[in-house]
Chain A
């Protein structure tokens, strides 16, 4: 049975091909034109008639064969899809592709600019390359950024017990990275984003402000509306580089928090160098890295 099917299919295919050739011949002859010699117009018309008759015969042969064919169920999905006509208006594939292409180009360009700007900066948190392999085996590869979540939780709860006036709340609003919300004794609030146990970013806001978006989610980006706290944020961000030791992550986090705790006297302590509280309407926003004594931004530089 199947063989008959296949035979009939092959026959049908060859007949279709014959039909195609005859039709093509008619049209190519018509387009090429007939060499009409004098008195021989009828001959060219005869040629045309014969060609059309061949077409007719081929067509009727094919028509006779077709009712005996069973329709084939196309189970191979890919070929079935070839027959489907996509509605170009509804599938925005082309516009999405161009958009993705433009976006990747832009990312490449901006990454080039960023690397050009950042490469002269010698302060790096991770030190790579430059050492022969032998020495590298002796150092432990820094893993501070890849500490599992339970380890981070344990470390933070141990640190929180050290200070009574600095409650720390840990949450994970964006997957694996821990976000700490610290309230420092009615003076300020801080939000620290960690990668493992390394500090990624710090934002400092007033005691009366909160870290929520209008929808109620944790807002990691918006800065304070008070200028003094924006200055403090910049100072603290600079200090995170100083306190960063990838080989001893919990010690670095602890010493950072000890230093940060000195900000509870942001409004009450005078500057150590000039003795005043205000310099240009700002309190001492800098705390010495080793001694945690308050200094104005201007006094720090002298």
Chain B
């Protein structure tokens, strides 16, 4: 079992490089067209996604930091449930252009919510995220809007958090791979420069707000 874990962890994509930014409503379409030109499959129509994401956390009396797991399922395609563990993003120093964090992304059956509840996890919060995604080689870019659910469990009654959209550029690689990908991401983000600034965001400072 331990050998299996070490084998899986060597080859599994668990390293994520991340850059985030935001764009206002009036420039949203311009950004979409520019991304369509820059990314792969520019002749096919925009690829959209609508997902419901729930964050579950488990607390313990001895362990101060709660363990968070994110469960995401698509509202368009049935039978696609994923659970994700995301570690804390490291900012690194000025030389590192992107944030790096340890992620484990796993597809599961549709009873994951029941399973986590029985395991002791409690749902902390949830939201619906709707947007477009593009990919260029290994890089994935999403432009999406986050919606608040007015009633828990009801994905119809939505209210957007704000009119701006979140733009994220991410690459997931294996533990050992990833040299040079940060520079590629940096040069890609330069091409989006006047429209949107993709940069490292310190998540720890956000939590203290």
Within the complex, are A and B direct neighbours (CB within 8 Å)?
no
Interface of B toward A, CB cutoff 8 Å: none
